[in-house]
Structure formats: structure tokens, C-alpha cells
Structure 1
Amino acid sequence: MSSPSPVHIKDTFGAIFIGALVTMTIYGITTLQAYFYYLSFPQDGIKTKLLVASIWILDTIHAIFMCHALHYYLIDQFGNAAALRDGTWTVFMSIAINVIMAFIVQCFFTQRIFKLSPLDRRWWIAGIIGFFVFAHFVFGIQTVVYLFIKKQFSRLKEVALNNALPFGISAIISDITIAAALCMLLRNSRTTFEDTNTVINRLIIFAINRCILTSAMAILETIVFTVLPNSFYSLAIDFVIGKLYANSLLAVLNSRARLRSGTTQEESSATEMSLRFNVTSAVANHQTSLLQVRTRDRDSLRRSNIADEEKGDQRIVTVSTTASNHSRKDGRTLDEGLAL
């Protein structure tokens, strides 16, 4: 009877240890993003707040499972070569948590695409994207179930072709279709206002960057798991990819504050100003007229209020203008595409 092959610590637990360090760093960013969201957007609906809370809780559970797995293999079972050959339940459950987080985030973007799509095409666009998102979720859960069945790390190659490969391909396709749809819809939302188009361009760049990041990690994980099924480099990548999905959602929600502040700074010379002109009147008593013009940005619809006030020998004319919140051609605002 042949003896079991030795465990190569460097390519297995050394890989997931490095992946865990990177993952915990990103988890800190996720926590900061969640804190910033609740601090900056207390007016958001309960659905959005619950969504952010659920993503952060799932991300925290994933971090706990990951730390438990590392402690089990590197501390509790230190020197026990037999224990290192079997997968503990927290390793496989961490993958399941990532699958659930990816599904929630992709459903969020699919819903945004549905709301921003034209009425006559929204079901087709959202339906196609939803198909790939659901396929990604199903293949992911199927992969986790097979990992629990196989259990031994030496049998991971049996999972690679039949389960992990479709799982990775569906993840790549779903991310690309979401990014392509967002770019198309945002491009069609261009208006005659230069500031609105600047915001749209920033959102398009963000959508492309998000797609490149998550898709590149999914491609890398699929290739590594297929080519090197006996190593844990794919697990290390999977630790990270779940955090990227969580951060992509929080970054989209928090980007509203940055976009608003950006347009405010660009227009500060024209928006937060007060001009006073003293004009000598030609009337006999030389009364002075004071013209005061004030323009302010707001995140509501455009409206203008003009009030004339006479007080003593002065006339004060106040003009208040509130700028539009990047309205679309169909009357909806772009901000509707960033929150529930």
C-alpha cells in the first residue's frame, strides 16, 4: 500500500496564509466603507441600509471562517500531516459565503440596470443579465456541495472540470454583462449639460474598472484552480474576490458623496456666490438700490425663486436658483441608479 503524498506547505497553507493577510486588509476597507456609508447617507431607505448591513455581516462571517481555518491547520493541527489533507468545514463555508455575497451584489446591479433601462427593453436586458447571475450562483453552490462531498484536498482535481470551470466562466460572463449594460445605459443618459456628462463619464469609468478587477480575479482563480488543483492558490484568490464584491457595492453607494462634492467644487465660482451692486438712482431723492444675486446647488430638481423686498431707502432683489440633480432625458435622476 502506497503512502500518501506529502503536503507541500508553501503551495498550500503558505498560499492561503498570504491570501488571508490581503483579505483582512481589504476587510478593514470594507468596514470603513460601511461606516462611511451610514455616516454620510442617513436619509437612505431601510432597504439600502439593510443591504449594506447584510453585506458587512456576511463579510465578517467570512473573515471569521477564514481565521478559524488558519488556526485549525496552522495551530491546532500543527505537525499532524493527516489532518492537513482534509478540508475543514470553515474552508468550504467561506467559499459559500463568497458565492452568496457575489449573488447579492450582482442582483443589486441587475436591479439598478432594470430601473435605468428603457421601458420597452428593461425586461430583456435584466433577464439576460439575471440568467448569468443565477447561473453563477447555482454553479457556485454546486461547487461547494461537491467540495463537502470530496472533502480531501487531493481530490480537488475531480471538482475542477465539472464544477469549478462552469462556476468561474459564469462569474466572468455575469460581471462583463453587468459592466457592459451599465456603460450602455449611462452613455444613453448623456444630456446637453456638461457637468452631468462629466458625472456620467466618471460612472462609466468606475463600471469598467469594477468589471476589470472582479473579472480578472475570476479568470485568475479559474485558471489556477484548473491548472494547479492540488495547490491552494485558488483558495487564496477566492478569499480576496469576495471582499472585492463587497467593496464594489459600498463604493458605488459612497460614490454619490464624491460625485456631488466634485460638481460643487467645480462650480463653486458660479454657485455659492453673493454679488452686490450699488447703483445710484437718477431719482430726485437719490435712493440706493441694492441688487443681491445668490445661486446655490441642491440635489433636488431645478427651481427659481425671486423675491423683492423693500426696506427703507433700499431695494433688495434676491434670486435663488437650485440646480438639477443630473436629470436624465426620461425625467429620472442618475442618483436613482445608485441607491434603492
Structure 2
Amino acid sequence: MVSLIESTTGMWLVGLFLQSMLHGMGLLQGFLYFVWYSNDNWTVKGTVVATLLVESIQMGAAFANAYQWVITGFGNFPNLNIIHWQDMLQLTALYLSTFIVQAHFARTIYNLHKQDIYLPIFILLLALLGFGAGLGQVILAIRLGEYSKLGEASVTTNLQAASALTADIAITTGIFWRLNESRTGVQATNKILNFLIITAINRGLFTMLFAALNVILFVSKPGTFYFMIALLLSDKFYMNSMLAMLNTREFAVRAHGTRVVGSDSMPMFATSSVTRYGVSGVNVSTVKETSGDKMSLDGKMTSF
């Protein structure tokens, strides 16, 4: 009995502990985003607000579920097998948050190259499929009513995880591809693009890893909640990866510029050329001091 509780409720509580830390990191990143990028357009700001709000609802439901288990249901072992509404609320919020972030990255890839809409649409469809599969899992779980029967919802569970994994691969590949195409003859610009490419790859590794672990643990460890650790942390990695990409834009410019010419929210930086980098929604342009030639990246990197 003890080993069963450890592999089910125990794993859920471990996931809750790790979630709490990642959620705190996300809230800090959200605060820094609004301090550093107050001039971003409202599409990006709205995405950040929606993500933080949904993630906070998810955490509230997670703690309410834990309270139901260890406080109001203390000593009631059969209660640990019952699926409560708090459980399903947190999973619904988790899948919604994942969809919001994946849709954001689809829009980012579209902004990097607006002439090609196929990849962003493909990612958006995968995000919708994953969200729909997640909702299907929630509905089936409510009907089943007990955690011991979750194996009967394996189709929707695996479909959601597979959709998330495929979307992550497409997002990481798309960002790498589009940023790599944005290279110019200006060394400072290429250094910034290299930094953003590395950041995008690192972002994708975590989310892809946990999406894959979700499937592997669900299949290999039936009757346990080991897969829940990967599932419950996945949305936190999505939130933090999105905010990290947004918050590293100015750092990328400062880290690869020799001096700061301006200090406002849309700073001017100089290396061998005078470079002005706008925030999200503003075109990026580079002006060489030697020739006065102006090159526009046509909105590339603007969602970062």
C-alpha cells in the first residue's frame, strides 16, 4: 500500500513541489518583462498576461487538490483514487497554457518570414490537436472517476504528448531555420542571431525532453504517476522558455555591442556599426557608419 501511494500521490506531490519553484521563476520573469519591455505591442503583452494568469489558476488548483488529499481527506485512502474537479481544472489550465505558448511561437516564426505561412499553420494545428486531445483526456478522466482507470484514456494521453513533442520539434527547427536565414554581412547582427539561435535550441531541448518522457513513462510505468512529473512540469517549461526568449532580446544586443548609445526601452547600440534594435513589433535595421547603407531585416527577430 505504501509503495503504491509513493508511486502515485507521492509522485504528484513531487511534481507539485517542482512546479512551485518553476512557477516562481516564471512570475519573476513576467515581472522583469513588463519592467524591461513596457513598449512591446499589446499582442505580446496579452500573451504574457494570459499565460501568467492561466498558470496561476493551474497552481491554485494544484494546491487545492493537494489540500483535498492530505487535509480534508486525511486518512481516507480510497479518496486518493478519486478524481476531483481540482485535478481536472489544473490539467485543463496546463493544456491551455501550453496551447497559448505554442501559438505564440507559431506567430513568432510567421513574423520571421511572413511569405511562408505553412510552417506556422502546421505548428498551430499541432497546438490545437494537443489542446483538443488534452481536453479529451480531461473529459474521459471525469467519466472514469478513478485514477486507477486512467489507462483507459491512453489514446488521448499519448496523442496529447505526441502532438506537443512534434510541435516542439517544429518550433525549434522553425526558429533555427528562420533566424539562420536572417544572417547579414554585419558581424554584430550575426552574433546576436547566433545567441538567439542557441537560446531557441536550449528552449526546445527541455520541452521536447519532457514531452518525450511523458509518453515513455506513461507506457512503461502503468498504474503509477511517474509520467505526471513530466506532464505537470511541461507547461512551466513552456512559460519560462517563452519569457526567457522575450527577456533576452536586450541582453543579446548589450552582450554583443561594444557600447551603449542610448538607455531607453528601445536602445541604440554600437559596434563597428550603429545598430538600432526595436522591441516586438518594430523593425530591426542596421546602418553602417562607413557607407551609410541601410539594411532592414524586415521585422525579423521582432517577436523576440
* TM-score normalised by length of structure 2: 0.87
The reply to whether residue 159 of structure 1 matches residue 153 of structure 2 is yes
SS at match of 1:336: coil
**Equivalent position of 1:125 in the other structure:** 119
Matches for 1:23-34 after TM superposition, within 5 Å:
23-34=19-30
* Contact 1:297–1:322 under 8 Å retained in 2: no
Matches for 1:107-126 after TM superposition, within 5 Å:
107-119=103-115, 122-126=116-120
**Equivalent position of 2:180 in the other structure:** 187
**Equivalent position of 2:249 in the other structure:** 256
Identity %: 24
- 1:148 corresponds, among 142, 152, 158, to 142
Q: Letter of the 1:323 partner, please give it.
A: T
Matches for 1:265-276 after TM superposition, within 5 Å:
267-268=258-259
- Take 1:331 and 1:80, find their aligned partners in 2: how far apart are those partners? 62
**Equivalent position of 1:323 in the other structure:** 275
Matches for 1:35-50 after TM superposition, within 5 Å:
35-50=31-46
From the two aligned structures, give the one with the greater strand fraction: 1
- 1:214 corresponds, among 188, 207, 224, to 207
Q: Letter of the 2:228 partner, please give it.
A: L
* Contact 1:19–1:236 under 8 Å retained in 2: yes
**Equivalent position of 2:280 in the other structure:** none
Q: Letter of the 1:187 partner, please give it.
A: N
Q: Letter of the 1:207 partner, please give it.
A: A
- 1:13 corresponds, among 6, 9, 20, to 9
Q: CA deviation at 1:6?
A: 8.3
Q: Letter of the 1:210 partner, please give it.
A: R
Spell out, residue by residue over 1:258-285, the C-alpha distance to the aligned partner (whole angstroms, 9 max, x if none): 1122133xx13xx66xxxxxxxxxxxxx
The reply to whether residue 224 of structure 1 matches residue 217 of structure 2 is yes
**Equivalent position of 1:137 in the other structure:** 131
Q: 1:60 to 1:302 in 2, by over 3 A?
A: closer
Q: CA deviation at 1:248?
A: 1.2
Q: Letter of the 2:42 partner, please give it.
A: I
- Take 1:297 and 1:13, find their aligned partners in 2: how far apart are those partners? 51
SS at match of 1:17: helix
**Equivalent position of 2:48 in the other structure:** 52
- Take 2:13 and 2:24, find their aligned partners in 1: how far apart are those partners? 17
Q: 1:47 to 1:123 in 2, by over 3 A?
A: closer
- Structure 2: state its 5+ residue gaps: 278-283, 287-294
- Take 1:133 and 1:297, find their aligned partners in 2: how far apart are those partners? 38
Q: Which has the higher contact order (CA 8 A, sep 6+)?
A: 2
* Contact 2:111–2:299 under 8 Å retained in 1: no
- 1:204 corresponds, among 197, 205, 209, to 197
* TM-score normalised by length of structure 1: 0.78
RMSD over aligned CA atoms reads 2.4
- Structure 1: state its 5+ residue gaps: 273-295, 304-320
From the two aligned structures, give the one with the greater helix fraction: 2
Q: Letter of the 1:58 partner, please give it.
A: V
Larger Rg: 1
* Contact 1:300–1:322 under 8 Å retained in 2: no
**Equivalent position of 2:238 in the other structure:** 245
